[in-house]
Amino acid sequence: MSALPYLAPPLFVLLWSSAFVGAKFGLPHAEPMTFLAIRFALVTVIFVLIARALSAPWPSTWRQTGHIAIVGALVQGVYLGGVFVAIHRGVPAGLASLIVGLQPILTAVLAGRLLGERTSARQWGGLALGLAGVAMVLGERMEAATIDPIGLLTCTAGLIAISVGTLHQKRYASSMHVASGSAIQNLTAAALTCFGALAFERMQVEWVPAFTLSLAWLTVVVSIGAFSLLMMMIRLGEAVKVVSLFYLVPPTTAVLAWLAFDERIGLVGAAGIAVTALGVALVVRPAAKGPAETGAG
C-alpha cells in the first residue's frame, strides 16, 4: 500500500505553513501586490496547462464564471493580499498565520447566519477560545511594540475575505472543475493585485536569489503541491479530518518562523496559540453520533 495517504496530512500542514515564511523571504525584494500579481499570473498559466492536459470542462455560462471569479477575488486576491501586506509591514509570520487561522471558526459562524446552518454551543465555545487565544498573542506582541495596526487590519480583512469566499464557493461554485476553476480564480486574483500594484506601488522587483526562490516555492510547491495534496485528501473521503488540519498551521508556522527568522514567542504567546488551536478543534470536530446514527442497538 502506498505511504502517500499517511504522509499527505503532515506534509500538507508543513507546506501550507511554509507559505507564511516563504512570503517573508521574498517581500523585502518586491512590494506585496507586485509579488502576488506575478505569482498569480504564473499559477494561472500552470492551471491552464493542467486543464488542457486533463481536457477539463470550463464553465458553460458567464454567470458560473462570475461566481468562480468572485471566489478567486476573495479567497486568493483579498485574503493573500491582506496577509502579504501585513507581513510586508512587519507583522510576524506566526501572528499573521494565527489570525487567518481563525477562518474555520468564522466560517462556521457565518454559515449559521448566511446558509441557515446551525451553530452549536460547542462551536460558540470554540469561537470564544479562538478569540481569547489571539488576544493573548496580540497582547504579548503589543507589549513588545512590534505590531503594526494597518498590517493587523489587512490581515483581519484577509480572514473575513477567505471566510466569505469559502461560503460563496460552497453555495455557488461547488461544481467547478479544480483545474479550470483554479485558472479562473487565479486570473481574477492576478488582475485584482495588478490593479493594486499599479495604483499603490512602484512595481519594482529585485530579482535576487531570495526572491526567485520564494516565488518558485510559493508558486509551485504551495499553490500547486499543497493544493494537490488537499484535493487528494478530500478525494479520499477525509474532508472533516482535512479541515481539522488547519488548526495545526499556526503552531507549525510559529516554529518555522522561529527557525528561519528567530521570531520568538513568550509563554503567554505560546499558550495563546494552544488556546486558539483548541478553539478551532472544537469548531471543526464532528458532532458525536447517537445510537441511531452509528447503527448501535
Residue 132 lies inside a defined structural domain of this protein: yes
Residue 104 lies inside a defined structural domain of this protein: yes
Full domain range(s) for residue 272 = 4-285
C-alpha cell belonging to residue 289: 453520533
Q: Tens digits of per-residue pLDDT, 81-118?
A: 999 999 999 888 878 887 887 777 777 777 766 666 66
Task: Specify the number of domains making up the chain.
Answer: 1
Residue 220 exposure: Cα atoms within 13 Å on the Cβ side: 6
With helix as H, strand as E and coil as C, how does the chain read?
CCCHHHHHHHHHHHHHHHHHHHHHHHHHHECHHHHHHHHHHHHHHHHHHHHHHHCCCCCCCHHHHHHHHHHHHHHHHHHHHHHHHHHHCCCCHHHHHHHHCCHHHHHHHHHHHHCCCCCCHHHHHHHHHHHHHHHHHHHHHHHCCCCCHHHHHHHHHHHHHHHHHHHHHHHHCCCCCHHHHHHHHHHHHHHHHHHHHHHHCCCCECCCHHHHHHHHHHHHHHHHHHHHHHHHHHHCCCHHHHHHHHHHHHHHHHHHHHHHHCCCCCHHHHHHHHHHHHHHHHHHCCCCCCHHHHCCC
Residue 296 lies inside a defined structural domain of this protein: no
Strand partners, 30: 205
**Confidence (pLDDT) at 61:** 94
Residue 297 lies inside a defined structural domain of this protein: no
Q: Tens digits of per-residue pLDDT, 215-261?
A: 999 999 998 888 777 767 766 654 445 666 777 777 888 888 888 88
Which pTM value belongs to this model?
Answer: 0.82
**Confidence (pLDDT) at 238:** 47
**Confidence (pLDDT) at 237:** 53
Residue 292 lies inside a defined structural domain of this protein: no
Q: Which residues of the chain have pLDDT under 50?
A: 1, 145, 238-240, 288-297
Residue 218 lies inside a defined structural domain of this protein: yes
Residue 106 near residue 159, CB atoms below 8 Å: yes
Residue 290 lies inside a defined structural domain of this protein: no
d(CA 79, CA 163): 9
Give whole-number Cα distances, 263 to 216, 255, 276, 297, in Å: 24, 9, 19, 54
Residue 178 lies inside a defined structural domain of this protein: yes
Residue 111 near residue 225, CB atoms below 8 Å: no
